[in-house]
Amino acid sequence: MDPTVTGTLVADGDDEGTYDLISSKGYSYEVPDADHSPAVRHIRQGNDPTLGRSVFLFDIHIDTDTNKGEDVDRQRNEIKTDNGSPASMVAQQGQTLECKWLFRLPSGMLTTTEFTHVHQIKGIDNSAGTADIDKPVITFTCRSTSGGQEMQVIHVSPSSSGSTLNYLANLPLSDFLGEWVSVTERMVCSESGTYSVKITRLRDSKVLAEINDTPLCMWRSGAAGMRPKWGIYRSFGTDRSLASQLRDETLSFADFYTKAQ
């Protein structure tokens, strides 16, 4: 992957310069660093023995971290594109948005029946603050179910359609834990759009999921654009009721690429 191409974010091994690198490539970050005293950086770089090179490490701490300083029922550590990114990294209505990345979930990762998102496609609000962007359009969600832990690929309909959840894939989380996987995602961002994704495990080239041009509403009314998010965004329950079921986690990511055209 060519790190000079717009929309490309590749770890360079300079751990202390991680945030500067993220920003320089057109991405922004939402991190719970200030929840610690002194502050603790939550996106690091480290050498991955499997890939044999530097990757991004996203840390989350169950007893400390919050969501933007609000210790309500969830915590967040993410990077994203936004309205400060180059135009080619935010999709406008009718454009095709392509995202590629690698990620590895830690062995033994804990989940609950509530959400643990590791990827989202969301709308960007307009200047009046009236866009229908509260709910994501797509999520990759790790969750405990009656059948065991799953990786769920979920489409969410617009609020005018009830914000209905459409489960596009329900995959055994065991296929992901401790494994590097690659993702290629492509969507036409319109009300009569389409969604495609291919998830491949690197170790054995097994295709874990493949969805091709599924017709879906991939736009949000009033949005200033559609953009991706990656990291970990998870619920620990009202009054921290689920915190005892979770633990500190470190998720690994590499080779982000975002292009809208």
What is the domain count for the chain?
1
In-domain check, residue 69: yes
- pTM for the model stands at 0.97
Cβ–Cβ under 8 Å, residues 123 and 133: yes
Cβ–Cβ under 8 Å, residues 235 and 114: yes
* CA–CA separation, 148 and 101 (whole Å): 26
* pLDDT per position as a tens digit, 117-162: 999 999 999 999 999 999 999 999 999 999 999 999 999 999 999 9
* pLDDT per position as a tens digit, 218-261: 999 999 999 999 999 999 999 999 999 999 999 999 999 999 99
Question: Over 90: is that where the pLDDT of 72 sits?
Answer: no
* pLDDT per position as a tens digit, 153-164: 999 999 999 999
Percent of the chain whose pLDDT exceeds 90: 97
In-domain check, residue 166: yes
Beta-bridged to residue 99, according to DSSP, are 185, 258
In-domain check, residue 3: no
Could you tell me which residues come within 8 angstroms of residue 17 by beta carbon, excluding any fewer than 6 positions away?
A: none
CATH number, domain containing residue 221? 2.60.120.200
In-domain check, residue 60: yes
Over the chain, what is the mean pLDDT? 97
- Expressed as residue numbers, the domain containing 189 is 8-260
Torsions phi, psi for 91 (to 5 deg): -85, 135
In-domain check, residue 137: yes
Question: Over 90: is that where the pLDDT of 70 sits?
Answer: no
In-domain check, residue 2: no
In-domain check, residue 192: yes
Torsions phi, psi for 160 (to 5 deg): -65, -20
* CA–CA separation, 7 and 37 (whole Å): 33
What b/e sequence results for 90-123 when a residue is b if at least 16 CB atoms lie within 10 Å of its CB, and e otherwise? bbbeebbbbbbbbbbbeeebbbbebbbbbbbbbb
Nearest C-alpha neighbor of 149 from the set 170, 128, 127, 165: 170
77 to 107, 108, 122, 210, 241: CA distances (angstroms):
19, 19, 16, 27, 20
Mean pLDDT to the nearest integer, 212-223: 97
* CA–CA separation, 62 and 150 (whole Å): 21
Mean pLDDT to the nearest integer, 160-176: 97
In-domain check, residue 1: no
pLDDT attached to residue 146: 95
